[in-house]
Amino acid sequence: MFEEVIEGLRRPQKMIPSKFFYDERGSELFDEITRLDEYYPTRTETRILEENIEEIAGAVGEQSVIVELGSGNSTKTRLLLDHMADISAYVPVDISEEYLMKTVRMLKKEYPDLSIKPVCADYTKPFQIPPIAKPFEYYVIFYPGSTIGNFRPEKARLFLKTISKLLVPGGGMLIGVDLKKDRETLEAAYNDSRCVTAEFNLNMLVRMNRELNADFDVDEFEHLAFYNEEKGRIEMHLVSRQKQEVHLQDEVISIDEGETIHTENSYKYSLEEFRELVKEWFEVQKVWTDEKELFSMQYLVK
């Protein structure tokens, strides 16, 4: 983590990769974000899944193996598993061994007949799926939460290529994609009135202080989130309230008053843009949305 963080802080536009948000406190705060009035994505995605679950289960197919990337949100996973009685296996893929084991223990109790094959891996890098005993038709990758929005479009394309290599033709991907919409709705979702998102953003520095022995003065930074319309993304930054120096082990970083550390991008797509993004590797077979077209669940086929 140290090398990646130092490298990011040495760039002209300072940055810390968003994957470092999720220490224990960060995961807790994100969980709280998903329940905020202003944060529409999680609630809307869950509703889309609920309202179309029969059709979605039909598209996924009964004889498939579900491979979930970032075995994060158990509510959505359960929804899917509950409607797929004959699923051949469930393969949660997560970088955190601890988290993975917790998920597996929980699901084993609730689904005693389900074959669960956890994989501890960074899913953005190539990984292998363990052998499945029961015959099955194909893998279906389950990737909810619009996490794909954290990749720049060119990275997203490379990621889709890596994923498609796991699949046979006819294999699929069930993916949650956040959609373009008015600036007000977008910006409110990342600037909630209870300041949970601000705390989530600032927690990055708390984590760096603890785990990298840094000395960020957390009170001297401010949360900033805005929609960059030209790039089609929400950007989150931490703004320095004053000129200051930060020490990380024996490195010194100077930060000007008003200078920012970029902590996250969250790309939003129109349905056309997303179809264009995936087209080298996948065909969009079916799209489900809510009535306001805030969010989409899409079934892609290789």
Binding residues for ligand AVJ, rule: CB under 6 A, are 33, 41, 145-147, 149-150, 190, 197, 264, 266
Give the nearer residue to ligand AVJ in terms of CB position, either 40 or 136.
Answer: 40
Give the nearer residue to ligand AVJ in terms of CB position, either 68 or 264.
Answer: 264
C-beta nearest to ligand AVJ: residue: 266
Residue 226 Cβ vs ligand AVJ, minimum distance, rounded to whole Å: 12
Residue 282 Cβ vs ligand AVJ, minimum distance, rounded to whole Å: 20
Residues 6+ apart with CB under 8 A from 15: 8, 9, 261, 262, 263
Residue 145 Cβ vs ligand AVJ, minimum distance, rounded to whole Å: 5
Give the nearer residue to ligand AVJ in terms of CB position, either 65 or 189.
Answer: 189
Residue 58 Cβ vs ligand AVJ, minimum distance, rounded to whole Å: 26
Which sign, positive or negative, has the C-alpha torsion 85, 90, 96, 98?
positive
Give the nearer residue to ligand AVJ in terms of CB position, either 171 or 176.
Answer: 176
Q: How many CB atoms lie within 10 A of CB 226?
A: 15
Residue 96 Cβ vs ligand AVJ, minimum distance, rounded to whole Å: 15
Residue 200 Cβ vs ligand AVJ, minimum distance, rounded to whole Å: 6
Give the nearer residue to ligand AVJ in terms of CB position, either 61 or 72.
Answer: 72
Give the nearer residue to ligand AVJ in terms of CB position, either 61 or 149.
Answer: 149
